[in-house]
Amino acid sequence: MADRYLRLAGTAPGRFLTRRVGLPQPAALMRWTAERPSLDGAVVRVVAGEVVAERVGPAEPVDPPVEPYAAVVLDATGIAEVGGLRAVRTSLGPLVRGLARCGRVVVLGAGAGGGAEAGAGPGGRDAAGAGAGDVEQAAVQEALAGFVRSLGKEIGGGRTVQLVRVAPGAALDSTLDFLLSPKSAYVSGQVIEVGPALRQPEVSGRRRTALVTGAARGIGESVAATLAREGAHVACLDVPGSGDALTAVAARLDGTALPLDITASDAGERIAAALDRLGGGLDVLVHNAGITRDRRFTHMDEDRWDAVLDVNLGSVLRTTGYLLKAGVLNDHGRIVATASIAGIAGNAGQTNYAASKAGIIGFVRSLAADPALRERGVTVNAVAPGFIETEMTAAVPFLIREAGRRLNSLGQGGRPVDVAETVAWLAATGSGGVNGQVVRVCGQSLLGA
Ligand SMILES: NC(=O)c1ccc[n+]([C@@H]2O[C@H](COP(=O)([O-])OP(=O)(O)OC[C@H]3O[C@@H](n4cnc5c(N)ncnc54)[C@H](O)[C@@H]3O)[C@@H](O)[C@H]2O)c1
């Protein structure tokens, strides 16, 4: 659905008018294209006050780096005292002023011993057994999250700000590549934990196989296309009623169409059989199919409640359970499920939907901690989209839709590709240290923040 306000604010008279009356100023976001795969300008790294130019787009680094910068990375992992936080202001302040539109700020903080072992403080120790130094370090490291979330809200111009908590030996490259690229255009205000790769991936030229549910349209179609772009053979699953649309998506991506209702009692067996015909097992499982059946709780009938809980949560648990038990998911497999900010913030009229999406977060956190899966190098993560422009949100009443679009730091709705790029990063072979994370793709929505 066209966002006319975003288009208006992108024109010179529109910019003038919206600024005069104090309306939001959404910037046109720079998204990934094959012709423009990286941000323009220097990626500047600051460690203990020392500034180093890391890269300058596709060109050679220039020292000192020239403004406007594409991105600034502040290594704050060593900050352990309140006084040390001063360096955040002194070293980042001048650089942020020189940041290009759609530029990136990434703060690196000290992480715990591993992605899914959340709850432990920096250094892997919990507060109960910590000394005074540990407590101060935990406090100032948490302070970084408040800083990042606030800077994200005021920085404007399509710029984004994230905190990445880095555990010792973390496999950080794929995460930094994502956050410092146009692929993360609609991700902001996030705190992401990265640990060491659960298991070193064996080097193999084998083509990966991905399964995407709800792939006939919307976010699922975009996820399927993005995983295909990254080289995977994609099995595209959607309800039999999606017919021609599903066939067309699968054909365009040179993938396989799998017409199947994910809530069918034998869905697991039928997916396994289809993957068996393709051969080579499954590498990436993306649970994307989802529905809404909104009603106030007091008017919520059994059908709406059951349908949403079954499609959005029950089927995810059943099919994952079956595929894991049947040994279909390969070592180093990636499971990415789709939650929602409604599952974090709650939403009037969506008790069923929010419950199902919060359930997805519980599913991801619990499965990511499974020792047997960790041993096999299997990661489990969730994306939590905010307001994404799809047929699902086109059906939302006008005023609620406008609020959904504007009530975030980027002042606009996201596109399916924003979620798809995030899924592709979590699904990448290099993302073996990202586990148990719930990454919001919401332009830093005020809901649930
Ligand atoms: N669009 C948003 O703003 C938004 C926000 C938060 C979360 N999400 C989540 O993202 C996912 C995709 O959303 P979307 O906006 O692309 O929705 P959409 O309605 O455009 O697409 C969903 C797809 O899932 C398929 N599907 C539904 N039930 C199915 C079933 N039983 N078996 C197989 N396929 C089934 C549909 O046929 C459809 O093709 C959903 O899980 C949704 O809850 C979307």
Contact yes or no for 410/186 (Cβ under 8 A): yes
Above 60 in pLDDT, residue 119?
Answer: no
- pLDDT at site 60: 63
Q: Which of 187, 222, 291, 338 to mutate to test the pocket of ligand 1 (most atoms within 8 A of CB)?
A: 291
Amino acid at 33: T
The hierarchical CATH code for the domain 209-441 is 3.40.50.720
CA 168 – ligand 1 centroid, Å:
37
| CA 343 to ligand 1 center in whole angstroms | 15
φ and ψ at residue 358, rounded to 5 degrees: -65, -35
Q: CA 443, 445, 94 angle in degrees (round to 5)?
A: 60
- Residues lining ligand 1, CB < 6 A? 213-214, 216-220, 238-239, 242, 261-263, 288-291, 311, 338, 340, 385, 387-388, 390-393
Determine whether 353 is an active site residue: yes
Q: Tokens 């793709």 — which residue?
A: 441
More confident residue, 245 or 23: 245
What are the tens digits of pLDDT across the range 238-256?
999 998 999 999 999 999 9
Pairing of strands 209-213, 191-194: unpaired
Interval between CA 214 and ligand 1 midpoint (Å)? 6
User: How far apart, in Å, do the first and last CA atoms of the chain sit?
Assistant: 26
pLDDT digits (tens, 9 = 90+) for 127-157: 445 577 799 999 999 999 999 999 999 999 9
By alpha-carbon position, which residue is closest to atom 40 of ligand 1?
290
Tell me how far the alpha carbon of residue 156 lies from the centroid of ligand 1, in angstroms: 30
Q: Which of 5, 69, 186, 353 is catalytic?
A: 353
Q: Which is the closest atom of ligand 1 to the Cα of 311?
A: 31
The preferred substitution site among 211, 236, 239 for testing ligand 1, maximizing ligand atoms within 8 Å of CB, is 239
**Nearest protein CA to atom 23 of ligand 1, as residue:** 214
Give the pLDDT score at 21.
Answer: 65
Q: Which of 390, 393, 423, 439 to mutate to test the pocket of ligand 1 (most atoms within 8 A of CB)?
A: 390
What is the C-alpha separation between 170 and 244, in angstroms, rounded? 44
CA 289 – ligand 1 centroid, Å: 4
Judged against a pLDDT cut of 90, whether residue 25 lies above it is answered with no
Q: Which of 121-130, 222-231, 359-368, 395-404 has the lowest mean pLDDT?
A: 121-130
Copy the structure tokens of residue 391: 């047929």
Task: Give me the pLDDT at residue 220, please.
Answer: 98
Here the tokens at position 375 are 């041993």
Ligand 1 atom 42: residue of nearest CA: 290
Q: How confident is the model at residue 54 (pLDDT cuts 50, 70, 90)?
A: low
Ligand 1 atom nearest 287 alpha carbon: 41
pTM assigned to the model:
0.93
Give the mean pLDDT of the chain: 90
Burial of 132 (0-12, 13-18, 19+ CB in 10 A): exposed
**Among the listed residues 449, 442, 187, the one whose alpha carbon sits nearest the alpha carbon of residue 344:** 449
CATH 3.40.50.720-classified regions of the chain: 31-194, 209-441
Which of 9-18, 32-41, 250-259, 344-353 bottoms out in mean pLDDT, i.e. has the lowest?
9-18
Flag whether pLDDT at 117 surpasses 50.
Answer: no
Topology of domain 31-194 in CATH is Rossmann fold (3.40.50)
